[in-house]
Amino acid sequence: MKTALITGITGQDGSYLAEYLLSLGYRVVGMHRRSSTLNFERIAHIQDDLVLEPGDLLDEASLIAVLRRYEPDEVYNLAAQSFVQTSFGQPVLTGETTALGVTRLLDAVRTVRPDARFYQASTSEMFGKVAETPQRETTPFHPRSPYGVAKVYGHWITVNYRESYGMHASSGILFNHESPRRGLEFVTRKVTFHVARIAHGLAHELRLGNLDAQRDWGFAGDYVRAMWLMLQQPAADDYVVATGETHSVRELCERAFAVVGLDWERYVRVDERFMRPAEVDLLVGDATRARRRLGWSPSVTFDELVSMMVEADMDLVARQVK
């Protein structure tokens, strides 16, 4: 039986990846950081099948201890301070976790378990002010937030450990991926949750920032399959994972409100508080390499994704008001 270590097990992707690896017969070790209240909501349904181990990307000794104890065959580094807006307010913490955290983990793997295969959660935010459209593995990076800058560092240190030490370290450049388990602060979930509250008469408006921003939104359940596929290849490499379609925040609103038969323009208000000091205007990925080499393709369309999220939030809010 293979063992996989997932950092960021309590996050959106951690929960989907854990489910997927369990279905493939892996022993799944999930690293979580200590908190005063438990935050296992996303993994509650599989908690008994997981090995949960405390550890923190800010603390290298804890990483070494987890690796020594479980000797994983595959390590998926999903942990990060992942919210772009927060990275402007907490740039140093973001750098410590999202940038240097990758080096701490890579170096711990190199020391304790050098043959383990390593996955780094890179991001389309590295393309930022895009140099070409669509973006692919060779597109130059121009990050637009402390988060994006930290991820560029995490990306290159992964490439560097691959080239310097021959580690099987791959980097997945994933475009936005969403689900009913997405954090409430991200725009898709913020919209679908508010749609459900408005439909239930619990709220009357939705305040958003830049409605013109365009993103390539896919379903998280599809994207974790690509992570696993990367680690099954004979050689490590970098892969863009995306749908190849882009939609604006405005279109997202239109679609989400339409699911419950409402006109978005009656409820959405633009609020300066949600604008960013520097914006990423347009992202759309070219996943040709992932399609050809990994045989990966997305299974959920934009409309299906938005409907799935609105319906899940309608159920959630209905349970909350009971």
By CB under 6 A, tell whether 91 contacts ligand F7E: no
In the bound state with ligand F7E, the residue whose beta carbon lies nearer, of 70 and 88, is 88
By CB under 6 A, tell whether 208 contacts ligand F7E: yes
Please indicate whether residue 147 is annotated as part of the active site: yes
By CB under 6 A, tell whether 58 contacts ligand NAP: yes
Please indicate whether residue 60 is annotated as part of the active site: no
Asked if omega into 134 is within 30° of 0 (cis), the reply is yes
- From CA 127, how far away is CA 111, in angstroms rounded? 32
Active-site pick, 98, 123, 158, 188? 123
Binding ligand F7E (rule: CB under 6 A), the pick from 176, 192, 243, 246 is 176
Applying CB under 6 A, which part among 51-59, 246-254, 274-282, 293-301 lies near ligand NAP?
51-59
CA atoms within 13 A on the CB side of 3: 16
219 binding partner (options ligand F7E, ligand NAP, none; Cβ < 5 to 8 Å by kind): none
- From CA 45, how far away is CA 168, in angstroms rounded? 32
Q: Give residues in contact with ligand F7E (CB under 6 A).
A: 82, 84-85, 123-125, 175-176, 185-187, 190, 208-210, 213, 215, 249, 274, 276, 279-280
Q: Give residues in contact with ligand NAP (CB under 6 A).
A: 7-8, 10-14, 33, 35, 39, 56-58, 78-82, 97, 121, 123, 174, 176-177, 183
Kindly list the catalytic residues: 123, 125, 147
